[in-house]
Amino acid sequence: MRHPLVDRHGSLLTVAGWGNTSGGAAAHLPAVLQSVKVPVVSRWERQFAYPDDWDGSMMCASAGGRDACQGDSGG
């Protein structure tokens, strides 16, 4: 099933979590819930970034190094 935001290039999404904020090997887990707004990228950008993995149901968003990290998924 296609995600309803798959073709919503530029729409802002909110990513939130308690995951690593250091970006390095040593994890820094915050005491306060973190969040960032990221725009949905175009279909072309998704296919270029993930040519072998994109199956049409994926939604991708990017904001120049601001995104989800290890621990944000809850597992």
Residue-wise pLDDT tens digits, 45-65: 888 888 888 777 777 888 887
Residue 46 lies in a domain: yes
**Within 13 Å, how many C-alpha atoms sit on residue 73's CB side?**
3
pLDDT tens column, 2-13: 556 556 778 898
Residue 65, in any domain of the structure: no
Q: What's the domain range around 43?
A: 7-20+32-51
Q: Determine, yes or no, domain membership for 39.
A: yes
> Which pTM value belongs to this model?
0.66
Q: Which two tokens stand for residue 12?
A: 């802002």
Residue 32 has pLDDT above 90, yes or no: yes
Give the chain's domain count: 1
